[in-house]
Amino acid sequence: MLLKIVWKNIWAKKLNSFLCILLMMFGISIISLLINIGNQLQDKFSKNISGIDMVVGAKGSPLQLILSGVYQIDAPTGNIPMSELQSLQTNPLVKQVLPLSMGDNYQGFRIVGTTYPYLKHFEADYAEGVGFKNNMEVVVGATVARKLNLKLNESFASSHGFEKEGEAHGDKKYKVVGILKSNNSVIDNLILCNLNSIWEIHKHEEEHASETPEEHAEHANEATESGHDITCALIKFRSPMGLMTIPRLINQNTKMQAALPAIEINRLFELMGIGIDAFKALAIAIMLISGISVFVTLYNALKERKYEMALMLSMGGKRTKLFFMLMFEGLFLSLSGYILGILLSRLGLWVASRMLDQNFNFDLQQSMLQKEEIYLLIAALLVGIFAAIIPSLGIYRINISKTLAND
């Protein structure tokens, strides 16, 4: 009975109630969306750099080197000779060196030349077929196979650069010999082959001596006449001593650049955190405005229905029941805003995933309620309670005889 009265009271002031719910919905949706995107990006970034202590490549931006070499979402900084890695491969402090050579794509998905340990590093498992053994054989990631509908033994010609519209290498074609299972890592979005395949497909091309720096970045993996250039290498050390000494020696004594993924990604998230915190502050302000709106709505409702309340009390109604009636109104408005806000955030997550997928082949997953969203529910309910508490307490200040006499 009490809940029925609450619903009728809310419906009687539809415009004010809608405004309260709308403000709460927007505040909740912004915070929820930021929580989900932030958590998923951090999880994906952390998973992909796990076990990679250092990335070496051409001189340039360390962050660009990490993004291109580890995450495959930026243009490489340039090329380095394969011979430069020999000293690293024989260094007793180095446990593993994973060379990568890139510069071509197929339908927007990058083709990366590497070695078998690269697949092992990401714990790749085959859904179909086997690994690459000969030149021009490729293993495709799960996302690539699904989106391009690639099958075993299919052949295709790559395009130069990282854009679909790049010049096609029609004289040589790759053959699909393996398809990987999805494992939610960067290799889901890659086409992998051996290093010789990359060198072979570029060995007859002219050097881009007249290119601007921007064009050179796009064609970063054009092989030299020796045919033994790579784009970068992922390094794992045997002990912390390697991390303390080798990056400095490389940066000071070689033409290569050493970048530390953990440091650069932490710096990236610190920069992103400033913007995220600003949006969260805005969302919290919207939630507080929603709370004020609930307070004003209930306070005005108490004033307008003072005679009605006094009449109910005179007929045996309990002040406690009337108190909880107004409290339930505040909670209902807050809870409705929370539920709609969560639904809106999931819609926003889907839109963000589509945009990231289209531009970077990087998607986001729909998820159940996060731990932070449970705290957000508690915060929304507290906003509703505090907004309703003062108007609700006004029930106990109603003078029945005076209110009825005045009306």
DSSP code per residue over 194-223: EHHHHHHHHTTSPP-TT--HHHHHHTTT--
Instruction: Return per-residue pLDDT of the chain as tens, 407 residues.
Output: 556 766 776 777 777 788 888 888 888 898 898 888 888 888 888 888 989 999 999 999 999 999 999 999 888 988 999 888 888 888 999 999 999 998 889 988 999 999 999 999 999 999 999 999 999 999 999 999 999 999 999 999 888 877 766 666 667 889 999 999 998 889 999 999 999 998 888 774 544 434 444 443 444 334 333 448 899 999 999 999 999 999 999 999 888 999 999 998 888 888 777 777 787 888 888 888 888 887 777 777 666 666 666 667 677 667 787 778 778 888 888 899 999 999 999 999 999 888 887 777 777 787 788 888 998 899 888 888 888 887 777 777 766 676 666 65
DSSP 187: G
Q: Confirm if 264 and 271 have CB atoms less than 8 A apart.
A: no
In the block, tokens 């430069």 appear at 84
Cα–Cα distance for residue pair 257/228, rounded to 1 Å: 18
Cα–Cα distance for residue pair 43/227, rounded to 1 Å: 37
